[in-house]
Structure 1
Amino acid sequence: MESKQEDILIQKVKNLYYNCKIKECIQFIEDDHEKRGSYCHQILQIYKGLSQFKAQLINEAFDTFENLIMENKQLKGNKVDELDVLAVIFYQLETQYFHVPKAEQYNSNLLQICELYREQNEFLDSYQKGVYLYGKGLYFFIETSREGIDEKCIKYMEEALNYQNWFNEEIIITLAWCCFIGHKFDLSCKWFNKIYEVNPKFPSLANNFALACEQIGDLPKAEKLYLEEMEVRWFNQVIINNLSLFYGEKMNDQEKQKFYQEKLINLKPITARICHYHGIYLNKKGKQQEAVQLFKQGIEIDPSYVANYEQLSEIYSVTDIQNSIILIEKCIEMYPNDGCLYTSLGRRYDVLQDRQKAIEAYTKSIQLKNYQEYKVYSNGRLSYQHYYQQNYPQALREIFKACSFKKSNTMLDHYSSYCWVLCQIQKFPLKEIIQIINEQSGLVITRFEQFANKSKDKNIKSLYLVKLDYLRTILFIISYRKYVENFLAFKNDILYWDLFID
């Protein structure tokens, strides 16, 4: 086929995709059996994979992208062009929506191909810097999304928009999602709206925009957007479940929640994700045995979908702790670098009062990539394990580590009381407590002030104000020694008396 005809073919595929005619797009590409040029073939496969993701044909989408990436490598060897990079970008982006740990697992591949592309093409006329910047931005987003996104991801993507890219809409959608995950909800809505004003049918746009609108409290707009997405993607299990959650949790409309859950469970074919979503709904409604059967069915349908193992393990943690542990360990086999799974494992060993195994699991959960709230929780539980073993110094260190996270505010009242208990233990001298405080830095100073301000108990309030004074004094001495003392010509034993004179 001539190049002009291939351009027409590509444009038709793009029109189908960007007008959210997802199933038609997949079918059109699959029905095309002509031998295509390399560029045309790659573009068609990219849009086929994207369409499969949007149709929730997840395993098929993985296969499409993985086959394309492998084909490109076999055809070009170590040579990399912009379509090679974009294939990995879109694969990683959609994987991140589906399962963050899976995207993290392969994120180094994205960085590698971005740098190869820059090294090989930077000084060529064909070089598209926007591709490189988009890839680097996405890399930093995936790398840091669970623990507070690195602002570099936003800067890279904003810079990428300065170039004439045919995929600028994808960059803007990704930017909006970065802002959403980074809790910049107003900015997220601004970016989503930028695309919505031009093309409200952009796949997934209305759904993701609705999520952001929920966060800023604009529920009427969120409802409107969800229903718009339902019109064009009525077959999508995520949309149906989101609508169900919206009506049940935001609008307190249990009838509509039930209506959409029935619509969800009646989708054909039933998938592991449907089993997961509907199982959670049943469990919350007190139908635990029905939920258990659905989670088991989901595992049979797709043994690689970890969410069903996790939900089943959570139920078993009350009635069958050993089986609960086995299920979490199966998840760890699939995703050994997911810190969340080790947090869950630590909780199971907590139930068994196996202190050492709990310590090992919680320590691992902190070392690996994990959501901040789980790291805060794990540090807190680590502290308790050391407390039970009468290792009070380490218990205090761990609770201070928990306080160093930005998102630990909800636990402050509890931590205040717990620290009070630790500091009152007779076998734990004040001198050692001050020494441990001296090891701390960063947000812990702010935390002491918050402990004091939040405490209703005057004794606890006084304790933390005293500890704060101790900490400030120690920091003054450290600063004095580091930045002043060495520049003084005269030094003697009364050098620091001024710190204690009233």
Structure 2
Amino acid sequence: MILSAQASQIRNLFLISKCDECIQASEKIEASSEEFNSYQLCQLYKILSLFEISQFEEAQKQFINLIQEARQKKGSLIDQVDLLTLSFYQWELCDYDSYECEQLNEELFKAIEIYKSDHKLEDLNTDGVYHLAQAMYTFIEYFQYDSNFECIEHLKRAQQLLNQKLDQEILFLMGWMLDYLGKNEEAIEYQLKLYSENQYFPSICNNISVTYKQMGKDDKQEEFLLQAEKIQPKNIVVMHNLAINYNQKDNQLKVEEYFTRSLAMYPNNSHTHYMQGHILLMKGEHQLGMEVLQKGIQVNPNDCNIYELMSLFDHSKFQEYMQKCISIRPKKSRYYSLMADRFLSLQQIEQSLNYLNLALSCKQSEADYVKDSIKKVVCYRTLHNYQEALQLIVQTLEKIKTFPNSLWGFQICKIINQLALPSLQKISILDSNNSRYLQKLDEIVRYILEKAKQSYIEGLKINPRFSQGHNNLGVIYQHMNMQEEALQCFLNSLEINPQDYQALMNIGNIYSEKNQLEEAKQWMIKSLNINPKNKDCHLNLGTIYIQMKKYKEAEQSYLRALDLDAQDFLVNYKLGCLYSEVLLINPSDIEAYFNLGQFYSQMNMFKEEKQSYLKILQIDPKYFQAYEKLGNLYFNMNMLEDAKQNYLKSIDLNPQSAISYFNLGITYQSMSMLEEAKQCYLSTLQINPQFSDAKKRYEQCDILLFKNKVK
């Protein structure tokens, strides 16, 4: 592809961030049939310049006009300039609106297909612009869903074939794509290479700052952000990133400065309201944050980011906000999935299933597909629809089995098996016809295990002193129910490395399965002596103690595991089972009910959590901690009046509870009762002067009350 002198001049202005001059120069160029491609390229760089100075709506409008002009001039013909126009526009649109970018990617795909049909295969193989278009299409199609690096190979091919034409644009795209794909080290190499050649390339300094931030190099991040601002002071993204940077440094004057400048320059850009509102909400300024977000909605009633953010902080309008998002972006699975979560937490299973079906009908990443499928299995099991649950498990396993990372697939199989095991047991008893599904599930798991087993055996032939390899092979033998082979592998690992705590734990697991509990316990303790932070070992030791009827020791083991990972589903589940078992032995055990309530809270089982605390109050109406937990529960459900009443009862029973005063203060603040909130924070500090969060909120209330008086 050859750029005309006119197009080269316009491009050169863009390349050094002279965006206003680029726009002005391109506006003087008129379209002609003879030089239309030159005109189209000039207009393309004008559109890119509009994006760079944050004239997003004008850029989109100009793009639509340009495409219409191109079709009027060229009819159905698609040439290199058309592919370049669509590809470069996608580059800018992706950062501004990834959802619209995804929809437009279908047009890029159609254009590529038309172009392919008009060219021979050997010509396409040597066509740099074609490979650039393929790179952009592939990236947009997969980057939100899976780490597909085909786009990088296409870009490298384009770079070779174009022979320094569009070299700076390709370097930029290479760094940009690699950053999105999580390859920060590789991304920064391309970004710094472009920077060394042309530090004024649009957005390169901003992108370098983002990559450095992800690499944990905050000093470098600010340095390049400030340079980005100097090069292009009209770029709203740079202003927002600077505001975020200064917020993290608690420099609120600078935060306010950049948001004020952004709003003054672009009063109709709702993303500033979103960013500012988000920061305020995270600082606890609920009322002010929501007011800012509402202003953003007035500016742009279709800003889904704002609706989603408001749904997190105003539970009473969660469904209203999510439905608004769905009406605006009906092909985005995330909104359906969030609605499903909401109904699942309320135990409205049928509604949850409906939204999960809608989520699964949309384009999703493999991780989201598995996540929503597991939620659907949970719904089916809750409804006792075991047949559907089993079918879905098999379908999910079949879909993910084809992915190249078999060990990752194996982990997913383990998770699904753990979640589904009670259902599988019930199915085999209730309906013998399900054996074909069980057989299919078994085939898939055995296939993955056999592949992994062979890989480790071959690897150990090459390096027989690789202790971790012996241990991993032993784990596979365990899952294949080949316990003696597994035991030998673990002993081999210990012979090479006596400090292999995983092998020690796995030997304990084998003895546990043999019901040799004392031996199993001793192996687990040996493992924990070497690595006391092994969560799985604490979990396994807890299960052994339960089998030995040593419930206090079991609880201690589970709580140690929970200290290491408070969000672990299995640890919380095991704790719940333990407390339930204790209550069967002693139905008046208040501590067991309290702990069971905390377990239900972790599982988002709010109805059951509430019943646990109410049961405590039936046994002992003066157990103030139960009122405190009920207050937390009601607050999280946005039932602020009920939360307030329970916190007041907790304080009445225990006037020295600093946390109850503090939580009551947060509740009053959420109800916009600032004087009452301020008094609660003061009471908190009188009980505990070191309570720093109470001090911060007390000062916030002071500021908000002052602002209200000024108004």
Q: What TM-score, normalized by structure 2, do the two folds share?
A: 0.56
Q: 8 Å contact 1:247–1:253 — kept in the other structure?
A: yes
| Cα offset, 1:187, TM superposition | 0.9
Cα distance per residue 1:268-323 (max 9 Å; x no partner): 3341222222221222122333333333333332344332232233334x122442
Alpha-carbon distance in structure 1 between the residues aligned to 2:44 and 2:323? 38
Higher relative contact order (CA 8 A, sep 6+): 1
Alpha-carbon distance in structure 2 between the residues aligned to 1:306 and 1:346? 18
Q: 8 Å contact 1:130–1:165 — kept in the other structure?
A: no
| Cα offset, 1:382, TM superposition | 2.1
1:23 aligns with 2:17: no
Counterpart in the other structure of 1:196? 195
1:146 and 1:35, CA in 2 relative to 1: closer, same or farther beyond 3 A?
A: closer
Q: 8 Å contact 1:16–1:25 — kept in the other structure?
A: yes
Structure ID, larger Rg: 2
Q: 8 Å contact 2:277–2:289 — kept in the other structure?
A: yes
SS in 2 for 1:161: helix
SS in 1 for 2:144: coil
Alpha-carbon distance in structure 2 between the residues aligned to 1:378 and 1:330? 21
Alpha-carbon distance in structure 2 between the residues aligned to 1:45 and 1:14? 10
1:321 and 1:80, CA in 2 relative to 1: closer, same or farther beyond 3 A?
A: closer
Cα distance per residue 1:22-63 (max 9 Å; x no partner): 233223333x26566313321221011101111121111111
Aligned pair count reads 448
1:94 aligns with 2:176: no
Counterpart in the other structure of 1:319? 316
Aligned pair partner of 1:457 in 539, 551, 557: 539
| Cα offset, 1:243, TM superposition | 2.1
Q: 8 Å contact 1:49–1:61 — kept in the other structure?
A: yes
Aligned pair partner of 1:369 in 363, 374, 377: 363
Alpha-carbon distance in structure 2 between the residues aligned to 1:51 and 1:307? 25
Alpha-carbon distance in structure 2 between the residues aligned to 1:104 and 1:366? 17
Cα distance per residue 1:152-207 (max 9 Å; x no partner): 21111111111225322222222222211221111111111221110111111111
Cα distance per residue 1:227-270 (max 9 Å; x no partner): 11111222222112122223434x56556445434443443334
Q: How much is the aligned-residue C-alpha RMSD, in angstroms?
A: 3.9
Tell me which moved more, 68-77 or 166-175: 166-175
Counterpart in the other structure of 2:275? 277
SS in 2 for 1:200: coil
Cα distance per residue 1:78-102 (max 9 Å; x no partner): 2222111111111222222222221
Cα distance per residue 1:349-396 (max 9 Å; x no partner): 334433122122223323422345544442342233223213356557
| Cα offset, 1:138, TM superposition | 1.0
Alpha-carbon distance in structure 2 between the residues aligned to 1:302 and 1:395? 42
Alignment of 1:484-499 (within 5 A): none
Counterpart in the other structure of 1:227? 226
Alignment of 1:274-313 (within 5 A): 274-313=272-311
Q: 1:323 is matched by which residue type in structure 2? A: E
Counterpart in the other structure of 2:176? 177
Q: 1:363 is matched by which residue type in structure 2? A: N
Q: 1:389 is matched by which residue type in structure 2? A: L
Q: List alignment gaps of at least 5 residues for structure 2.
A: 453-471, 480-505, 507-533, 545-711
Counterpart in the other structure of 2:58? 60
Alignment of 1:93-492 (within 5 A): 93-122=91-120, 129-163=127-161, 164=163, 166-249=165-248, 251=249, 256-316=254-314, 318-331=315-328, 335-371=329-365, 374-392=368-386, 394-395=388-389, 401=396, 419=418, 422-423=421-422, 427=426, 429=428, 435=439, 437-438=441-442, 440-441=444-445, 455=536, 456-458=538-540
Cα distance per residue 1:309-350 (max 9 Å; x no partner): 32233334x12244234323323xxx3222222222323333
Alpha-carbon distance in structure 2 between the residues aligned to 1:142 and 1:417? 30
Q: 8 Å contact 2:268–2:300 — kept in the other structure?
A: no
SS in 2 for 1:286: coil
Q: 8 Å contact 1:141–1:149 — kept in the other structure?
A: no
1:116 and 1:454, CA in 2 relative to 1: closer, same or farther beyond 3 A?
A: farther
Q: 1:80 is matched by which residue type in structure 2? A: I
Alpha-carbon distance in structure 2 between the residues aligned to 1:152 and 1:309? 35
| Cα offset, 1:20, TM superposition | 1.1
Counterpart in the other structure of 1:467? none
Alpha-carbon distance in structure 2 between the residues aligned to 1:260 and 1:152? 39
1:183 and 1:370, CA in 2 relative to 1: closer, same or farther beyond 3 A?
A: same
Alpha-carbon distance in structure 2 between the residues aligned to 1:186 and 1:29? 37
Alpha-carbon distance in structure 1 between the residues aligned to 2:419 and 2:352? 24
SS in 1 for 2:265: coil
Counterpart in the other structure of 2:484? none
Alpha-carbon distance in structure 2 between the residues aligned to 1:203 and 1:34? 25
Alpha-carbon distance in structure 2 between the residues aligned to 1:386 and 1:103? 35
Tell me which moved more, 199-208 or 115-124: 115-124
Q: 1:14 is matched by which residue type in structure 2? A: R
Alpha-carbon distance in structure 2 between the residues aligned to 1:257 and 1:420? 46
Q: 8 Å contact 1:133–1:159 — kept in the other structure?
A: yes
Q: What TM-score, normalized by structure 1, do the two folds share?
A: 0.77
Aligned pair partner of 1:70 in 63, 68, 71: 68
Counterpart in the other structure of 1:480? none
Alpha-carbon distance in structure 2 between the residues aligned to 1:354 and 1:58? 41
Q: 8 Å contact 1:207–1:226 — kept in the other structure?
A: yes
Cα distance per residue 1:91-148 (max 9 Å; x no partner): 2222222222212212122122123234335599999711100001111111111111
Percentage of identical aligned residues: 24
Q: 8 Å contact 2:13–2:19 — kept in the other structure?
A: yes
Larger helix share, 1 or 2: 2
Cα distance per residue 1:6-30 (max 9 Å; x no partner): 9554344223211112233223333
Q: 1:368 is matched by which residue type in structure 2? A: C
Q: 8 Å contact 1:396–1:419 — kept in the other structure?
A: no
1:268 and 1:140, CA in 2 relative to 1: closer, same or farther beyond 3 A?
A: closer
Alpha-carbon distance in structure 1 between the residues aligned to 2:223 and 2:446? 44
1:384 and 1:41, CA in 2 relative to 1: closer, same or farther beyond 3 A?
A: same
Q: 8 Å contact 1:20–1:203 — kept in the other structure?
A: yes
Alpha-carbon distance in structure 2 between the residues aligned to 1:96 and 1:399? 34
SS in 1 for 2:160: coil
Q: 8 Å contact 1:313–1:328 — kept in the other structure?
A: no
Counterpart in the other structure of 1:475? none
Q: 8 Å contact 1:146–1:369 — kept in the other structure?
A: no
| Cα offset, 1:442, TM superposition | 9.7
1:63 and 1:420, CA in 2 relative to 1: closer, same or farther beyond 3 A?
A: closer
SS in 2 for 1:203: coil
1:319 and 1:107, CA in 2 relative to 1: closer, same or farther beyond 3 A?
A: same
Alpha-carbon distance in structure 1 between the residues aligned to 2:444 and 2:292? 47
Q: 8 Å contact 1:110–1:139 — kept in the other structure?
A: yes
1:273 and 1:128, CA in 2 relative to 1: closer, same or farther beyond 3 A?
A: farther
1:84 and 1:418, CA in 2 relative to 1: closer, same or farther beyond 3 A?
A: closer
1:416 and 1:148, CA in 2 relative to 1: closer, same or farther beyond 3 A?
A: closer
1:200 and 1:58, CA in 2 relative to 1: closer, same or farther beyond 3 A?
A: same
Q: 1:63 is matched by which residue type in structure 2? A: K
Q: 8 Å contact 2:263–2:269 — kept in the other structure?
A: no
Tell me which moved more, 267-276 or 131-140: 267-276
Tell me which moved more, 209-218 or 306-315: 306-315
SS in 2 for 1:169: helix
